[in-house]
Structure 1
Amino acid sequence: MYNTIKTELTDNIFFIYINRPDKMNALNAEVMKELALAIDEVYTNKEIKSAVITGKGEKAFVAGADISEFLALSDLQGAELAKKGQVIFKRIEDSPKPIIAAVNGFALGGGCELAMACHFRIAATHARFGQPEVNLGLIPGYGGTQRLTALVGKGKALEMMMTGDMIGAEDALAWGLVNYVVAPGDLLLKSTELLQKIHTKAPLAIARVIKCANAALDHISDGYEMELNEFGACFATKDMQEGAEAFIQKRVARFIGE
């Protein structure tokens, strides 16, 4: 089905591999198109409860965009390219099912932006992060200026974007860019463990947590108003009734997503 990515569904987790290891998994137009289709699967396939995005090979998660595609673009075409990227990455961010970036190497430029669009990030010890677009006379265009600032703070974000320097996994952890740093061999294991734990929770509540957390940063929605509305909506679900009864009865809740 895909030429530049590979997918597999295991225990309700949808693994999406960017599969251009000979090109450091760079994001070209075909990768972006196929990634968008894979994310559509996350939304529509009821067998999928969560997803992991990672890169094939040992060197790179995604080492950036395919710069060879940039040379012939006008300013308007450049803006259109950025718009397409932002739409795809926003769809990842807004997914009602959790999506983890398992960062198995370089996450630079568009790769760093892809990782930041996921709900959280787990990094291998050798992972490197950066927004080096200024080295090309560019700026991040797929949401990087916004998400990096939200995750690490304005000062650190500006330093990364203005110097173009990379940071290692431990600095990324200290700055709040990633949630965990693990040995490369444990990367998918840690991702799976976290998602399997989330799978035991009420899926409608998980989706509402994502929606409200995103509202805190979009500068448009009233996050507090959204929170009270989504909190109230939980009371109309069978899962809330089940969760409350299970708590009172001191048993494990059995959520059904209704």
Structure 2
Amino acid sequence: MSEILCDIHDDIALVTLNRPARLNAVHRALRASLIATLARLNKDASVRAIVLTGAGERAFCAGQDLEEAADVDIARIPAWLDSQRAMYQAVRDLDKPCIAALNGVAAGAGFQVALCADWRVAATHARIGQPEVKAGLASIVGSYLMTLHVGMTHNVQMSLSGELIDARRAYDIGLVTELAERADVLAAALERAKQLARLPAHAMKLSKQRFRTLTQPGFDAACAAGIEAQTECYAHGEPQMAMRAFLNAKASMDIKA
């Protein structure tokens, strides 16, 4: 099964995170495929806009795959987080409009991918947030990306509680650009992509490059700080314990089901 699906509709590319049984959680193969797909689409002059979404009805992306994260050796944390950084950067590097269609949960790494997009269309039932602290991880890159959209009060509340908020609340505070009903979220995102695709491509490219220039130093600093912080978290053992407890509880529930 391909972790990333890509369909071209006229001049719009629909890119789908395709691990629905795992709520489209990020792991090595999905990261690599998403990075390669976005790089290819960015070079394709026939593609004028990109829509990102998740397979199934439950999630855009539930975040980092905890089975992968729980097994990360401390010595591998810099390389592992560099690969995460490259995934976010692949979205940031797009010179054409990118719309995230949040068809369900967008949490952690999935939330951060969406924050790197230009436009976020969320289904009204979607839940969105930054739950890293619940997994024993510091909220570093996600909290930086939220500073580009919301003030300190909302950022602190979401980063320190790890709680997910509903899409209407996310829209009210500025994390989501548009709301749509469950059945209409992808159609709304594709329609927005068509509208943006009709705008002059070179002006769009230069505008996006300027936004990237303005935010790149902060993004780079957050990624560097994230490596340092998560290395310390893993050294304390909190992520391993929290993730294993979650995975064991999930396995127990699966057996009972």
Per-residue CA distance 1:28-55 (angstroms, 9 max, x = gap): 1110011011111211222211111100
Per the alignment, residue 208 of structure 1 pairs with: 206
Q: Deviations over 1:158-202 (max 9, x none)?
A: 110110011100111011101101112211221122221222211
The answer as to 2:194 corresponding to 1:196 is yes
Pairing 1:174–2:172 present: yes
Question: Which aligned pairs between 1:23-172 and structure 2 lie closer than 5 A?
Answer: 23-140=22-139, 143-172=141-170
User: In the aligned structure 2, how far is the partner of 1:95 from the partner of 1:137?
Assistant: 32
Per-residue CA deviations over 1:13-35 (Å, capped at 9, x if unaligned) read: 11011111111111111100110
Q: Where has structure 1 moved over 3 Å in runs of 4 or more?
A: none
* 1:40-89 deviation per Cα after TM superposition (whole angstroms, max 9, x unaligned): 12112222111111001111000111111122323341232111111221
- RCO (CA 8 Å, sep 6+): is it higher in 1 or 2? 2
Unaligned runs of 5+ in 2: 219-257
Identity %: 28
- For 2:151 and 2:82, how far apart are their aligned partners in 1? 24
Q: Distance in 2 between matches of 1:88 and 1:159?
A: 26
Aligned residues: 218
Q: Indicate the residue corresponding to 1:232 in structure 2.
A: none
8 Å CA contact retained: 1:109, 1:140:
no
What RMSD, in angstroms, separates the aligned Cα atoms of the two structures? 1.5
Q: Tell me the distance in 2 between the aligned counterparts of 1:91 and 1:58.
A: 25
Distance 2:158 2:210 in 1: 28
Separation in 2 of the partners of 1:46 and 1:125?
A: 34
Contact preservation (8 Å) 1:42, 1:50: no
Candidates 182, 185, 199, aligned match of 1:184: 182
Q: TM-score, normalised by structure 2?
A: 0.81
